[in-house]
Structure 1
Amino acid sequence: MARMKFICDAERCIECNGCVTACKAEHDIPWGVNRRRVVTMNDGVAGEKSISVACMHCSDAPCMAVCPVNCFYRTDEGVVLHDKDICIGCGYCSYACPFGAPQFPSTGAFGLRGKMDKCTFCAGGPEENGSQAEFEKYGRNRLSEGKLPACAEMCSTKALLAGDGDVVADILRNRVLVRGKGSEVWGWGTAYGKPRDGQPAAGKPDEVKS
């Protein structure tokens, strides 16, 4: 059975927030909750990186470990979901999660607490697949329709990958091998082609020689 995972390629993410918008639109997410968000490190500084963050559906999920009512469960595909009918809104999972995935919905002026909400990998919840009850509580169940999460499908640069963990890991590994690392990723060689057999790169021969 495939183990579903997210991987975000920080070298490709352009901070467009298309994944955030796709998630909110697909599942009719309530105001004040972002199941997915884009985090930028070293914003405005040379070498800044952006990465799309949501529930990573951990193999050893800390949210499951701390929940006092055991409302979290793992599907056969490795997706970590929670049962809102069991959830008591204690917030322990929010403190335990290193990614800040479980969130309280803001339903009033002072952010009244309710049932926790989190990314479902577009896999719905414990209700019948595709039912109205499932959509109202957890959003659309795209996984049962044979589709990948909306956030990954909407990513314009394919920075956000979702699917079988082994497959997406191989995709990222191949990207890294092809593009290199450090200055090789976005540099002179990438823009104008790398020199071969001592010949200058195409495009700016005079500058390459100097």
Structure 2
Amino acid sequence: MARMKFICDSERCIECNGCVTACKNEHEVPWGVNRRRVVTINDGEIGAEKSISVACMHCSDAPCMAVCPVSCFYKTDEGVVLHNKDTCIGCGYCSYACPFGAPQFPSQGTFGMRGKMDKCTFCAGGPEENGSEEEFEKYGRNRLSEGKLPACAEMCSTKALLAGDGDVISDIFRNRVTHRQKNGKAAGGDVFGWGSAYGKPTQGAKS
């Protein structure tokens, strides 16, 4: 059985936010909720700036599942961590426990009330019937049941964001890293990375 995982290649991510837009559009995510976001470190430093696309990592030993007082989280046969909004009480414990900031809560509503938690579903829907209107309304489109990969990964223009069977995408990433090591650090990233998008640092510039 495949174990579904995400890997983001920081050498290829160009901070276009296409993955973020694809996710919000595909699932009609409510205002104030971002199931996926792009994080950039060393912002503005030429040669040192790196970006990575972050969402729920569907952990093998998910801390959100461990702290939820009503056990609204469950794991599918493919290793995707999902939740039941009918069970969720909006306590926010999952948001404190998650190291990736995946659990999101609506920004609109009465002060002090969190509402139902929302997060990345790996485009696998929820506990309702696959493809049903109720499932789409609560969790968005169930692409996995259609034999498709998450929309964020399919829309990544540089193929920085990989999604699918953990063993398969690990092999793809390992081959990329090996290629870069053989051809120099910049070679692998320049194919679809920062070098292609923004050019190489000019001589004498801060690196």
- Is the pair's TM-score, using the shorter chain for normalization, greater than 0.5? yes
Identify the residue that residue 39 of structure 2 maps to in structure 1: 39
SS of structure 2 residue aligned to 1:135? helix
Gaps of 5+ in 2: 192-207
When residues 111 and 163 of structure 1 are mapped into structure 2, their CA distance, relative to the original with a 3 A threshold, is farther
SS of structure 1 residue aligned to 2:40? strand
Residue 143 (1) aligns with residue 147 (2): no
Identify the residue that residue 5 of structure 1 maps to in structure 2: 5
When residues 82 and 126 of structure 1 are mapped into structure 2, their CA distance, relative to the original with a 3 A threshold, is same
**Alignment check: 8 A CA contact 1:63 1:93 kept:** yes
Normalising by the residue count of structure 2, what TM-score does the alignment of the two structures yield? 0.87
How many residues of Structure 1 are paired with residues of Structure 2 in the alignment?
188
Q: Which amino acid aligns with 2:25?
A: A
Identify the residue that residue 95 of structure 2 maps to in structure 1: 94
Identify the residue that residue 201 of structure 2 maps to in structure 1: none
Q: Which amino acid aligns with 2:136?
A: F
Q: Which amino acid aligns with 1:34?
A: N
Deviation at 1:148, TM superposition (A): 0.1
How far apart in 1 are the matches of 2:60 and 2:91? 23
RCO comparison, higher one (Cα < 8 Å, 6+): 2
Matches within 5 A, 1:59-70: 59-70=60-71
Residue 75 (1) aligns with residue 90 (2): no
| CA deviations over 1:44-84 (Å, ceiling 9, x no partner) | 11311000000000000000000000000000000000000
Which entry has the higher C-alpha Rg, 1 or 2? 1
Identify the residue that residue 198 of structure 1 maps to in structure 2: none
How far apart in 2 are the matches of 1:105 and 1:111? 11
Deviation at 1:41, TM superposition (A): 0.5
- RMSD (Å) for aligned C-alpha atoms: 1.7
Name which of structure 1's ranges 33-42 and 109-118 shifts more when overlaid on structure 2: 109-118
**Alignment check: 8 A CA contact 2:64 2:95 kept:** yes
Residue 16 (1) aligns with residue 16 (2): yes
How far apart in 1 are the matches of 2:37 and 2:29? 13
Deviation at 1:184, TM superposition (A): 2.2
**Alignment check: 8 A CA contact 1:105 1:112 kept:** no
| CA deviations over 1:159-186 (Å, ceiling 9, x no partner) | 00000000000000000001128x9222
Deviation at 1:110, TM superposition (A): 4.9
- Structure 1 residue ranges (4+ consecutive) displaced by more than 3 angstroms after TM superposition: 108-112
**Alignment check: 8 A CA contact 1:37 1:52 kept:** yes
Gaps of 5+ in 1: 192-210
Deviation at 1:147, TM superposition (A): 0.1
**Alignment check: 8 A CA contact 2:92 2:114 kept:** no
| CA deviations over 1:99-143 (Å, ceiling 9, x no partner) | 000011112385742000000000000000000000000000000
Q: Percent identity?
A: 84
Normalising by the residue count of structure 1, what TM-score does the alignment of the two structures yield? 0.86
SS of structure 2 residue aligned to 1:68? coil
